[in-house]
Amino acid sequence: MSDAKLFTPAQAGAIELKNRVVMAPLTRNRARPEDDVPVELNVEYYEQRATAGLIITEASQISPQGKGYAWTPGIYSDAQVEGWKNVTDAIHAKGGKVVIQLWHVGRISHPVLQPGAADPVAPSAIAAASKTFDGEQFIDTPMPRALERNEIPGIVEDYRKAAENAKKAGFDGVEVHAANGYLIDQFLRDGSNTRQDEYGGPIENRARFLKEVMDAVVGVWGGDRVGIRLSPFSNANDIADSDPQATFSHAIKLLNGYGLAYLHLVEGQTGGARDIPEGGDLAALYALFDGTTMGNNGYSRESAIEAVESGAVDLVAFGRPFIANPDLVERLKRNAPLNEPDRDTFYGGGAKGYTDYPTLEQASAAAE
């Protein structure tokens, strides 16, 4: 099945992909601790994986306030832009394509990670029963502060500036992170958004922040170089909604107005079961979108080939397999065995469990 459609070229808006295997965004907590700048080790890691049809970088905070975990990279300072430019240059030199995932965590943070030890912000003052990483251990996320109406345009402007910085850093486009219980997702869902102003209440209002962010980002890039990630049925980071099918149907219809490069859906629970709750219909959500679709969550070689062949999705994003297999595309083509990822090295650390996984070629040379 090396001639399967999964391994053929595709188009995601204006971005030409050499195959339909996407490297999913993966938080690895290896930016420079003092200023969240990507370093040479990050360059090597991404360069090793440039055979993917598209790389989506790890989520990168759009501002110091948007940070929720220690050692995650940013895209708001000149030094960060320079660090990311080294990454994009290396990927492009290997013939790869890469977009950066723009991130504001909202309430999934902690004062120890915030400028001036401030409280994290959210649509409403509702705490998430979740945890974050402070550089030493996983700690509970506290009660956030509800954003004032007049603060919201500033955050939208942070997204716009981050999109501008991504362009300066040489990316092929950007992905807006609107999934997994982070700030945009918090606005969209009625379990985390109980505002009484024009950003709360009916879904038309709860989707207003999403619309303003998309207006800003698409204003920089054009829709055909902007993707978006949603997780309609995931409860990651204690997120909940009374009617996710209706909420995300509305969101996707709204997104159609932008001519986006792609729609990236987490299918089921983030990094967990693929089950869809009663009343949920993934196929119906995909069908609403006028453009390239990307499926994500626990795909195997067989299920990815089948999903693309059947037309269920156009692209498949792989996460953990890309951690341990820099040459994942080649391994999938050949139906070769996969390296097992070392979970102890997922978050933080150095080269071990990051850039030292062997390719098929290296493993074969070592065995001779």
Kindly list the catalytic residues.
182
Bridge partners of 227, per DSSP, are 175, 262
Q: Which residue has the tokens 């709360």?
A: 200
Angle at 257 between CA 57 and CA 190, to 5 degrees: 75
For residues 118 and 133, give the distance between their C-alpha atoms in angstroms, rounded to a whole number.
16
Question: Dihedral sign, CA of 189, 194, 200, 202?
Answer: positive
Chain-centroid distance of CA 312 in Å reads 21
What are the E-state strand segments in the chain?
A: 10-12, 15-17, 21-23, 54-61, 98-103, 121-122, 131-133, 138-140, 145-146, 173-177, 226-230, 262-266, 293-296, 315-318
| Nearest CA among 69, 94, 98 for reference residue 84 | 98
Helix/strand/coil for 50: coil
Q: What angle do CA 346, 349, 350 make, to 5 degrees?
A: 110
